[in-house]
Amino acid sequence: MYYCFLDTPIGDLLLAGDEESLSLVAFPEGSMRRDPDPDWIYNEKPFAEARRQLTEYFAGSRKQFDLPLNLSGTEFQLLVLEELRRIPYGETVSYGDIAERIGRPAAVRAVGAANGRNPLPIIVPCHRVIGSGGDLTGFGGGLDAKEALLRLEAENSELMKSG
């Protein structure tokens, strides 16, 4: 597994994967904080496109990602991750909304758990999922990072509407 870091407004993100696809985006803080495994090899080259697209995202010029991803998880988790990818830039939905959309309306807690295990946050936009009352709920990078991502998208969505 290769890895590198990307300096962003929310801290240094750890990117990991192979020569073909991205497998992990990890935060510098929060419950999804992760350090590279000792046997991983530092190499920025496999992540050139991911770094470019993430930099564009943080600059407000990229609304969607087009990267080869290696998504892992159970069948249910993968179903949730695919639904997360359908949430439009600058919009939020609740865990209940996701449960409804995947045809499992009673699985709100399971959706929350799958959301929390997302190995590719930002790329698979789990930060766009909020509590049913509109409150920001847990986020692997910490609530400050979630708030920053939502604010970035809100500001750039407004620019798109007015520009």
Q: Is 30 left (phi over 0), alpha (psi -120 to 50) or beta?
A: left
Euclidean distance between CA atoms 16 and 113, whole angstroms: 22
Helix, strand, or coil (residue 42):
strand
**Phi and psi angles of residue 108, each rounded to the nearest 5 degrees, phi first:** -60, -45
Give catalytic status of residue 126 as yes or no.
Answer: yes
**Phi and psi angles of residue 28, each rounded to the nearest 5 degrees, phi first:** -80, -15
Give the tokens for residue 52: 């470019």
Residue in 22, 126, 130, 150 annotated catalytic: 126
Which of the residues are catalytic?
Answer: 126
